[in-house]
Structures are given as structure tokens and as C-alpha cells.
Amino acid sequence: MIAVITAMQNEAHALLRHAETDREYTLYGKKICEGCAFGKRFALIAAGIGKSNAAAAAMLALSGLNAKTLLNFGLAGGISQQADIAEVFRIVRAVQYDFDLSEVNGTPKGTLDEYDTPYLPLKDGQSAFKKATLATGDKLTASLADLPLLNALGADLRDMEGAAIAHVAFAAGAPLYAYKAVSNKIGADSVAQYREFTRRALEALSDGMEKIFAEIEP
């Protein structure tokens, strides 16, 4: 079974509008919906926003639901020139850009303790979507203060959940597929763009859902 993790219910709807659901319940405070879409069985967890919620949902998926494959999709902010509004990307590596032990042990920013690289790998392969590096941090802000670091990390997109899920998946040896639709571009008006373009980005994500599921090996 595929465990699908989204932060927000409107992101979950990008899949649910295509699905036949047959069970809904709550486990450890997380709402879960089971069903089938595009010929594949899934359990969708509405995680909530942020890294701790995302990591908890990933652990629940692996240990509570015995999922063998994880899928995360949702909205992200665009950083690189290739990240156009409402375009969907497949994430092939992720980094927690707000994790910083550099003054303690000299490791590059984003490098988790006992890791030797900032980057967490995701499931890669042939894709109908452009591939991207995702930077994850617990903030949604219009500030440009993080831009030099994000550029140094080679980040194309940023969100608040993806790399936390990647951390759990990598530690567990579980395959993680992730796809993000661009809802706003980094800059002074990014929060205003998020409000303006969320619906458009979600529609693009929903329109691409059949292609997304075609790429997943349960």
C-alpha cells in the first residue's frame, strides 16, 4: 500500500477528487482516508503543517500502517528560474535548510547530525516532470534573508514538510516519491502570491495526479 502524506486538506483533495474512498478514521491524532486511485491502493494522512507534523505522519505511515512506499505532494515556493507558477516538479533530493550545527561541529548548514551531506535522497527515475531539489524549513515568509543559503544549496523549491519526510524515509530505507506544485516565487510579494495562486497550483497538481501515480511502484 502507498501511504500518501499531505500537509493541508486542500492538497489532499488533489488526489481525493480522483479516488474512490472506503474508510476514514483517526490514528494518533491524524486523520486517515483509505481508498483506490488509478488502480492503486492508498492511505492518505492529513499531517498538518510543518516538519514535526510531517515526520510524525511518516513514522505513522511506516510503523502504524505498515506502508512500503511513501508519497508526498503539495505546494512549494519557487526559488530557481525554472520554477514557474503552477508547474509541477518531481523532487529527487531534499535538505532541511533551517538545521544548523555549523558553529558547533563545522558541518555545512542543513547537514543533520551524524550525516556527512545536507542532502536526503528521494526515489528517482524516469519522470513526466522536471526534477528539482527541495529545501524545507519551518517558516513561510516574504523575507529574502535565506536566499543566499538556498542558492548555495542549489534549491529549486522550498516548503515546510518534504525534507522531514525524506529524513524518516531514508532512515527507514523506505522509498519516497515527492511532487510539488509552485504556488509562489521567493521575494517580497511571495505571501501575496501564495494567496493568489494557491488554487491554480492545486489544479495543476490534481491534473498531474494520474501521471504521478503512474510513476509510483507500490
39-54: pLDDT as tens digits: 999 999 999 999 999 9
Could you tell me the three cell numbers for 85? 507558477
Model pLDDT, residue 141: 83
Residues in the chain: 218
Higher model confidence: residue 69 or residue 187?
69
Q: Which domain holds residue 98?
A: 2-215
* Mean pLDDT score, 185-207: 93
Average pLDDT over residues 13-26: 98
Q: How many domains does the chain have?
A: 1
DSSP letter for each residue of 71-116: EEEEEEEE-STT--TT-EEEEEEEEETT---HHHH-PPTTPPTT-S
Contact (Cβ atoms closer than 8 angstroms) between residue 79 and residue 152: no
> What pLDDT sits at residue 123?
97
The rounded distance, in Å, linking the Cα atoms of 44 and 34 is 6
Q: Kind and range of the H or E element at 176?
A: strand 176-185
- Are the C-beta atoms of 205 and 11 separated by less than 8 Å? yes
Q: Is the pLDDT of residue 86 over 80?
A: yes
pLDDT tens across 128-186, in order? 999 999 999 998 887 889 999 999 999 999 999 999 999 999 999 999 999 999 999 99
C-alpha cell at 135: 529545501
Coil vs helix vs strand at 139: coil
As a whole-number percent, the residues of the chain with pLDDT over 90 amount to 89
Within 10 Å of residue 211's Cβ, how many Cβ atoms?
Answer: 15
pLDDT at 142 (0 to 100): 77
Closest CA to 182 of 81, 102, 39: 81
Q: Rounded distance, CA 155 to CA 41, Å?
A: 32
In angstroms, rounded to a whole number, what is the distance separating the alpha carbons of residues 144 and 34? 40
Tell me what pLDDT residue 114 has: 85
Distance, in Å, from the CA atom of 96 to the CA atom of 9, rounded to the nearest integer, reads 23
Per-residue pLDDT, averaged over 82-97, amounts to 97
Q: What is the CATH number of the domain that holds 209?
A: 3.40.50.1580
